[in-house]
Copies of this chain bind each other. A is one copy, B any other.
Amino acid sequence: MADKRVYLFREGSADMRDLLGGKGANLAEMTNIGLPVPPGFIITTEACRQYYAQKEQLPDGLMDSVRSAMSEIEGDIGRKFGDTENPLLASVRSGSKFSMPGMMDTVLNLGLNEETLKGLIRASGEPRFAWDARRRFVMMFSDIVLGISRSRFEAIFSACKEKRQVSQDTDLSAEDLQEVAGKFLALVRQETGRPFPEDPWEQLQLAVEAVFRSWYNRRAREYRRRESIPDDLGTAVSVQAMVYGNLGTDSGTGVAFTRDPSTGERTLYGEYLVNAQGEDVVAGIRTPLPLSELAATNPEVYKQFREIGERLERHYKNMMDLEFTIERGRLFMLQCRVGQRTGAAAVRIAVEMAGEGLISREDAVTRVSASHLNQLLHPRIDESYLAENGIEPIVEGLPASPGSAVGKAVFDADRASRMGAEGESVILIRDETNPDDVHGMLASQAILTARGGKTSHAAVVARGFGIPCVSGCETMKVDERSRMFDANGKIVREGAWVTVDGTTGRVYLDKIPLISPEVGGEFDTLLGWCDEFRRLGVRANADNPRDAKQALKFGCEGIGLCRTEHMFFEKDRLPIMQSMILAETDHDRELALQKLLAMQQQDFEELFVVMDGLPVTIRLIDPPLHEFLPAHEELLKQVVELRVAVKSLGADAIKEVLQEKERLLELIESMREVNPMLGLRGVRLSILIPGIVAMQTRAILQAAVRVKKRGVEVNPEIMIPLVAHVNELRTVRENLDKVAAEVVEEAEETVTYKFGTMIELPRACLTAQEIAQHAEFFSFGTNDLTQTTFGVSRDDAEGKFLAKYVELGVLPVNPFETLDTEGVGKLVRICVEDARRANPLLKFGICGEHGGDADSIAFFHSVGLDYVSCSPFRVPIARLAAAQAAIAERAETPVAAMQN
């Protein structure tokens, strides 16, 4: 068996995905459970790996195995490959272990040449059909195998349609198609200097090699890098006898899902095209019919198909995506796979299937991905704003991927990618998308296409990544060169703001306000199940009562990070903060601190009331003080201008203003820092200006006392940022405990609080054993920890080189999005182990942005943290990811693998 490189469908099964690819394994499975699948065979991924190991040479004897497999098929179907009477034609498709939509290539109708064409005409009695197959084959083969751009062929085809003054392909006659095919062949000879390969076996070998080669094309490599799929898996090749959906009006081809992939409703959902080949549906060239039409026109076939769908769903215990072809009234299954779905559908299907007893609750939880939930948490358009302002959409298309987004119109993928990397919100607008556009699609807030259905490339990719999409806006004329589109006479140019609603399919000009989502129903059910399974606690990062309420609604179990300085940035407080910083005497500083105290205390009281008894982790002041002062550059400009004015006008009135500004400028310049991220901030401030800690501690504890006296339970946790050395923590704690004791004594009320520190510098991780002895909790600040461990300033890197690094494959992912487990994670692990040994009662949390990232949460679970804390809108995702990590641990299976 070791040398077996070719498997007949009947020799394989669904669990052989590694060897046969997902597509091949499922064809084998369907064959073996007795479904009508055209016969075929699969060349293994192992053969592909050998092909690369031997410097792109097919393994010895491979084509011999292919020939003998082909003869088995010939026997099954009663046609012969290369036969001039009743020729067997084949489809050749790639298929890797993981689904890579649109990434690999397909050749249909392989085996056609001048001679077999005649046989096809004879056998089918349909010259038009045969010539159609011929022109399709020449174009696809030339594009994929010979590398001649498809657009060259399409231009010839369009010219022919124009000449005949028809709009549909089906309106062309056999003669027209024959003429087209002739021109195609001439183009091939002109481009390659050789005639089109006519030998079917040569065609087959070239096609197999082309599929192998496509494994390493740029699109495929980029997709794999993004999805963390290893490069060395290789692809299988499935070779299958063609059946024809384009043999007349009793033929057709379609795709379907066993449940609605948008809503999750339990209903067979799909579309089909009469008298067409599979590629026509996907390409979106003709607009397909809903499956209900098939039920009406051919109830027998429809019934058979529905039963197959139900059977496959029971068999796979999942919602399936099916491809079928009807050849002269006879149904064939061409593909089945687990269906992509929207977030709403994923949740509903998971919960309902668990309800139906088809899957367990654990299965249900693992069936929903973080990006599925993320879609549900997407904002939607404020309809009342539209109504009040009488705003109408400028175009409408198909609601291809739900959610709404606002962004600037951009007409090519490269620019979208670049602008997106720079932090701009963009909407990618294309006539239709293709795999070359994926990088731009991923960088966009939403995608808008003029052509293509709900299963078009744009729609599939967008849904997969949770990006809102409207496709098939047929009234919109996109001019990619002039960077604009024309919507019923209204011109929209690049850079204009556009709002896209992927849930309704409507597109609006300008920025329309969006509303945050509300969730419930199956969403709550599923998250309830998550809470049963997870071990990690989930808290939220919230600085004010509003965010805290939102987070509670999403099920947080406390606040893991309340950034007190955000309170100082508010409009009425900033001047007081500034006077504290600029104070020339201790007395002035104390006065300003007193004012801030009253305000902070009020803030904390409100927060404690909202959180009623849940822990609230309050981080003392963190940013450098110059962040609270006027911007240096602006002030400098003013001073220079005023100096010139004073010099030339000698105006005394201005002189005073100038002097005032000069004083401020001098002060700000004395506080400026070369690398503020590594400067006087965090605990360093607290040590140099102990009055701030004293004020903040007093505010927290006085608030706690007040609220407690009103009967509210309070659990404050005071957290010190940016500790590098244990002595910093010790110094601050002495100051803080003294103030706390004073407050308790004054109030004659006991309040307990926890004392802890953020762990956000490598040195804190490396000396955790010492620091642990002076803290009750650690909370990893993985943003700063990533910055210092990598030596990368996020502010500077994300716009400049991080995107390039990911693009070049220097880094697998942006480490600010998903935790770098090798480097930063190693520090986290060292820290947890050392600290726990020194202080077994210590609690560990994480409050960096990674706290809301599913992959990172799996890591945090594995190192044994106690909780993650993330932004309120990521709380549901954290609950899900934490549950999945716990389930995966029990099953000893990575989370990612469970979702495929």
Contact surface of A with B, Cβ cutoff 8 Å: 633, 636-637, 640-641, 644-645, 648, 673-680, 684, 687-688, 722, 724-725, 727-728, 731, 760-763, 766-767, 784, 787-793, 795-797, 800-801, 804-805, 808-811, 820, 822-824, 826-827
Contact of A767 among B673, B766, B822 (CB under 8 A): B822
Residues of B within 8 A of A688 (CB): 801, 804
**Apart from A687-B810, A762-B788: 13 A-B pairs, beta carbons within 8 A:** A673-B795, A675-B678, A675-B793, A678-B791, A679-B796, A680-B800, A687-B801, A724-B792, A724-B823, A762-B827, A763-B791, A766-B789, A767-B826
Could you give 25 example pairs across A and B, Cβ below 8 Å? A633-B636, A674-B676, A674-B793, A675-B678, A677-B793, A678-B678, A678-B791, A679-B793, A679-B797, A680-B797, A687-B804, A687-B805, A688-B804, A724-B789, A724-B791, A725-B790, A731-B808, A761-B789, A762-B788, A762-B827, A763-B789, A763-B820, A766-B826, A767-B822, A767-B823
Q: Could you tell me if A725 and B811 are in contact, using CB atoms closer than 8 angstroms?
A: yes
B-chain residues with CB within 8 Å of residue A810 when the two chains form the complex: 687, 725, 727-728, 731
Interchain CA distance A679-B677 in the complex, whole Å: 12
The CA-CA distance from A826 to B765 in the complex, in Å, is 11
Find A687's partner among B645, B727, B784, B808 (CB 8 Å cutoff): B808
A675 to B797, CA, bound (A): 10
A796 & B641 in contact (Cβ 8 Å cutoff): no
A724 to B820, CA, bound (A): 11
B-side contacts of A679, CB under 8 Å? 793, 796-797, 800
Alpha-carbon distance A114/B680, docked complex (angstroms): 60
Given contacts A675-B795, A795-B675, contact A680 B801 (CB under 8 A): yes
B-side contacts of A809, CB under 8 Å:
727
Nearest CB on B from A667, distance (A): 13
Which 10 A-B pairs give the minimum distances between C-beta atoms? A678-B793, A675-B793, A763-B823, A761-B791, A679-B796, A762-B762, A674-B795, A675-B675, A640-B640, A673-B796
Residues from chain B with a CB closer than 8 A to the CB of A797 are: 678-680
Q: A673 vs B673: C-alpha distance in the bound complex, in angstroms?
A: 12
CA distance A688 to B791 in the complex (A): 17
Question: Shortest beta-carbon distance, A5 to chain B, in Å?
Answer: 33
A675 contact set on B, CB distance < 8 A? 675-678, 793, 795-796
CB distance from A764 to the nearest CB of B (A): 9
Q: Which residues of B contact A676 (CB under 8 A)?
A: 674-675, 796
The interface residues of chain B lying within 8 Å CB-to-CB of A826 are 766-767
Measured in the bound complex, the distance between the Cα atoms of B728 and A795 in whole Å is 20
Q: Which residue of B lies closest to A632 (CB)?
A: B633
Q: State how many angstroms separate the Cβ of A833 from the closest Cβ of chain B.
A: 13
A796 partner residues in chain B, CB cutoff 8 A = 673-676, 678-680
A795 to B772, CA, bound (A): 30
Determine the chain B residues whose CB is within 8 A of the CB of A640 once the complex forms. Answer: 636-637, 640-641, 644
Choose among B761, B791, B805 the residue that contacts A722 (Cβ–Cβ < 8 A).
B791
Bound-state Cα–Cα, A822 to B826, Å: 17
Complex: A727 Cα to B807 Cα, angstroms: 13
User: Chain B nearest CB: distance from A678 CB in Å?
Assistant: 4
Give the Cβ gap from A391 to chain B, nearest Cβ, in Å: 30
Residues in B neighbouring A788, C-beta threshold 8 A: 762, 788-789, 791
User: A863: shortest Cβ distance to chain B, in Å?
Assistant: 15
Taken together as a complex, chains A and B put the C-alpha atoms of A205 and B296 apart, in Å, by 114
The residue in chain B whose Cβ has the minimal distance to the Cβ of A724 is B790
Q: Which one of B674, B680, B684, B762 contacts A677 once the chains associate, using CB atoms below 8 Å?
A: B674
- Chain B positions within 8 Å of A636 at CB level: 633, 636-637, 640
What residues on B are CB-neighbors of A641 within 8 Å? 640, 644
- List of B residues within 8 angstroms of A820 by Cβ: 763
Residues of B within 8 A of A808 (CB): 687, 731
Chain B residues whose C-beta falls within 8 Å of the C-beta of A790 in the assembled complex: 724-725, 761, 763
Closest Cβ of chain B: how far from A781's Cβ, in Å? 10
**Nearest CB of B to A725, in Å:** 6
Bound together, the chains give a CA A234 to CA B582 distance in angstroms of 44
CA gap between A796 and B676 in the complex, in Å: 8
Contacts of A789 in B (CB 8 A): 724, 761-763, 766, 788
List of B residues within 8 angstroms of A792 by Cβ: 678, 724
Shortest C-beta distance, A786 to chain B (Å), equals 9
> For the complex, what is the distance from the CA of A143 to the CA of B804, rounded to whole Å?
71
A478 CB to nearest chain B CB (Å): 13
- Residues of chain B lying within 8 A (CB to CB) of residue A823: 724-725, 762-763, 766-767
Most chain-B Cβ atoms within 10 A of its Cβ — which of A678, A784, A800, A826?
A678
Instruction: Determine the distance from Cα of A789 to Cα of B724 in the docked complex, in whole angstroms.
Output: 8
- Inter-chain CA distance A465–B648, complex, in Å, is 45
Q: Which residues of B contact A677 (CB under 8 A)?
A: 674-675, 678, 791, 793
- Nearest-neighbour CB distance to chain B for A596, whole angstroms, equals 22
Give the chain B neighbours of A804 by CB distance below 8 A: 687-688
CA distance A725 to B802 in the complex (A): 12
Pick from B633, B727, B793: contact of A811, CB below 8 A: B727
Contacts of A811 in B (CB 8 A): 725, 727
Nearest CB of B to A213, in Å: 22
Q: How far is the CA of A872 from the CA of B326 in the complex (A)?
A: 84
The interface residues of chain B lying within 8 Å CB-to-CB of A805 are 687
Residues on B with C-beta less than 8 A from A731 are: 808, 810
CA distance A648 to B731 in the complex (A): 57
A288 to B29, CA, bound (A): 108
| Residue in chain B with minimal CB distance to A790 | B724
**Cα–Cα, bound, A688→B802 (Å):** 11
